[in-house]
Amino acid sequence: MNAPDGWKHQNAVPPTDTAEPDYFHKVVDCQWACPAHTPVPGYIRLIAQGRFSDAYMLNRQSNVFPGILGRVCDRPCEPACRRDRVEDEPVAICRLKRVAADHKDDITDRLPKKPAKTNGKRIALIGAGPASFTVANDLAPFGYECTIFERFGEPGGLMRTNIPAFRLPEKVLSEELGYILDMGVELKLNSPVSSMKALLDEGYDAVFVGTGAPKGKELNLPGRDQSENIHIGIDWLESVAFEHTKAIGKKVLIIGVGNTAMDCCRTSLRLGADNVKVMARKPRAFFKASAWELEDAEAENVEIIVNHSPKEFVVDNGVLKGMLFETLEYVLDEKGNITKQTVTGEVVIECDDVVLAIGQDNAFPWIERDAGLEFGKWDMPLVDEVTFQSTREEVFFGGDAAFGPKNIIWAVEHGHQAAISIHQYCQQKLVTTRLPNGVKLAPTKMGMFEWSFSNSFDAAERRIMPHVELAKRFKDLGTEVELGFTAEQAATEVERCLNCDMQTVFNAPLCTECDACVDICPVECLTMTEPAAENVLREALEIPASNTEQALYVSPALPLTSRVMIKDENICLHCGLCAERCPTAAWDMQESEIIINHVEDMVPGASS
């Protein structure tokens, strides 16, 4: 072999530090992408074993609302799923969560009970959305007296008022909120907080603001004030949810093409509309709605019309007749960015109602500007991105109220973090003191050709969610469209998961440089090569590691030649063949547990 001294080591990448907790965490793409870091492959394995309740409980630790999120999560995990990069489509992670929730047994015994006595700390939570509920979920079991104030007569926030029941049944929502209320959380309904100062005067030890972003954006065009049939999307959905609104005209235009627009158009169809058009200013590539929401709306024959910019509401004698649009043409550059737009004409589209779904804003009219909380740009309170503390030390924010509209799983994660801060604050500890994430590794080798996980690659395609047939779904608002996976579908879908938490762990001193692992790897993501700069190493692989967002593992020098073993984490199937084939167990498959801390991990002796 060439003498190692002949190698140009100057820019050589140092060996990868796999003890750094984020390294293995990042390999579990779904968990890394999930704001709450739900241990996806772990719960998918439990579902595969039919242990639905265990899968549910594991989910609940991080995402608190598996039944809700298994239906309506924004699922950032899925675009991140390795399976998507390997061949075609991600694992149906979200809908597998629903399988766990739908098939679990009664788990109430496994939830924390209302503590026998409180710790004397009183926490006020404003707004009964997922953010506040998560804070209560984390704090109540440890004796915190949590009181949630909600302006409406029902809890749940936008999950109740805006996410339509045909996507999220009321029963599922109430069940999961109920688990938290049963921990001894007090819920004050019909109790809008109209003065922050007054609330602070009540002497709470801490206040959590989880009031969301409750204001729908306006579209101030001529004619706006002349008709009753122009609605603001989120207010309109809310009034539908509370059954104040029970009908809409036959022809409906929805302005905007985000997820709210999708809920507005589908809700219209259930309230009597038969011709619903979603009007978009820009081409399809610029739509804000998730691909699957668009797909579901279009499956219900909603028409999506691109390149139309609203100009005027056409109102005749107080009766809405239609809407005037400018038609647009765009010039795109190679990257798909718009470089030019031209107006090509004008067109009136007839309608009976218009629903404006062009965004949400925060609004804190009830927080006096001299209450000790500083406000910054766009009249938003200043909130720390790690601790969620405001500039008034006992006031914390989370969910859409903190940094603007996001989604449920972000609200949950904010809630977890704010709960840790509130706990620290109430225990007179620094809120900035937080436990670091960690990683635990455990062996998985059971014997020759035998691992403790299902290591074989299953080539099955992603299962397609069965839906209620079109004819039946518009009868009422509450008919859930998705039926959930059948047992057979679930059994197939779980096997599609690559078990990315089963880490390939390399022990360089054991390697005899026999190449067996390199040869067996079905995706050719390993090789041994001389140390070099990262870009050179990435090219050294049989299939170059061109996805630089994914790590390249680099081993310490190998014993015989001082070369390094490198591995492209991008497309590894976690099939274990490298470890199976290795004569010395230099490669081993080890199950990683990513340690993510919650309040329970900060309370001595409480961690389960």
Partner 1 sequence: MTSFAKPSINLKNAKRNKLGLTRRDYEGAMSTLCAGCGHDSVTACMAKAFFELSIEPHRAVKVSGIGCSSKTTAYFLSEAHGNNTVHGRMPSVATGAAAANTELTYIGVSGDGDSLSIGLGQFAHAIRRNVNMLYVLENNGVYGLTKGQFSASSDIGSRSKKGEENLSPPIDPVSLGLSLGATFVARGFSGDRAQLVPLIKAGLKHNGFALIDIVSPCVSFNDHKGSTKSYAHTFQYYHPAVHADYVPMADDIKTSYEDGEAVPVELHDGGMIMLRKLDKDYDPQDRAAAYAQVAKRAAKGEIITGLLYVDESQKDMAAMNKMTATPLNALPYESLCPGAASLADLQNRYR
Residue ranges binding ligand FAD (CB under 6 A): 72-74, 126-132, 149-152, 157-159, 162-163, 192-193, 210-212, 214, 234, 237, 259-260, 263, 366, 399-401, 405-409, 411
Amino acid at 577: L
Q: In the complex, what is the shortest distance from the CB of residue 294 to ligand SF4, in angstroms, rounded to a whole number?
A: 23
Binding residue for ligand SF4, selected from 347, 441, 465, 523, defined by CB under 6 A:
523
- Closer CB to partner 1, 295 or 519, in the complex: 519
Task: Please list every residue from 176 through 195 that binds ligand SF4, using CB under 6 A.
Answer: none
- Closer CB to ligand FAD, 173 or 599, in the complex: 173
Contacts of 436 (CB under 8 A, 6+ apart): 21
First to last CA, the chain: 53
Q: What are phi and psi of 233, to 5 degrees?
A: -45, -55
Residue 454 binds partner 1, judged by CB under 8 A? yes
Q: How many CB atoms lie within 10 A of CB 145?
A: 19
Binding residue for partner 1, selected from 19, 285, 430, 446, defined by CB under 8 A:
446
**Angstrom distance (rounded) from CA 1 to CA 96:** 51
Residue 7 binds partner 1, judged by CB under 8 A? no
Q: How many CB atoms lie within 10 A of CB 344?
A: 11
3-state DSSP assignment of residue 568: strand
Q: In the complex, what is the shortest distance from the CB of residue 573 to partner 1, in angstroms, rounded to a whole number?
A: 7
Would you give the binding string for partner 1 spanning residues 349-388, x where CB under 8 A is met? ----------------------------------------
Stretch that binds ligand SF4, among 144-152, 280-288, 356-364, 572-580 (CB under 6 A): 572-580
Q: What letter does residue 117 receive in the DSSP assignment?
A: S
- Closer CB to ligand SF4, 232 or 594, in the complex: 594
**Checking phi first, is residue 28 left (phi over 0); if not, alpha (psi -120 to 50) or beta?**
beta
Residue 39 binds ligand SF4, judged by CB under 6 A? no
**Angstrom distance (rounded) from CA 325 to CA 307:** 9
* 323 neighbors 314 (Cβ within 8 angstroms): yes
Residue 577 binds partner 1, judged by CB under 8 A? yes
Q: In the complex, what is the shortest distance from the CB of residue 490 to partner 1, in angstroms, rounded to a whole number?
A: 16
Residue 557 binds ligand SF4, judged by CB under 6 A? no
Residue with tokens 């972003």: 213
Binding residue for partner 1, selected from 11, 301, 427, 584, defined by CB under 8 A:
584
Total residues interacting with ligand SF4, rule: CB under 6 A? 42
Contacts of 455 (CB under 8 A, 6+ apart): 499, 502, 574, 575, 576, 577, 589
Task: Provide the Cα torsion 580, 581, 585, 588; round to 10°.
Answer: -40
Q: Identify what 258 binds: ligand FAD, partner 1, ligand SF4, none; CB under 5 to 8 Å per kind.
A: none
Residue 551 binds ligand SF4, judged by CB under 6 A? no
Angle value at C-alpha 132, between 130 and 138, nearest 5 degrees: 100
Q: What are phi and psi of 421, to 5 degrees?
A: -65, -45
* Binding residues for partner 1 (CB under 8 A): 1-2, 85-88, 446, 449-451, 453-457, 459, 512-516, 518-520, 522-524, 542-543, 546, 560-561, 571, 573, 575, 577, 580-584
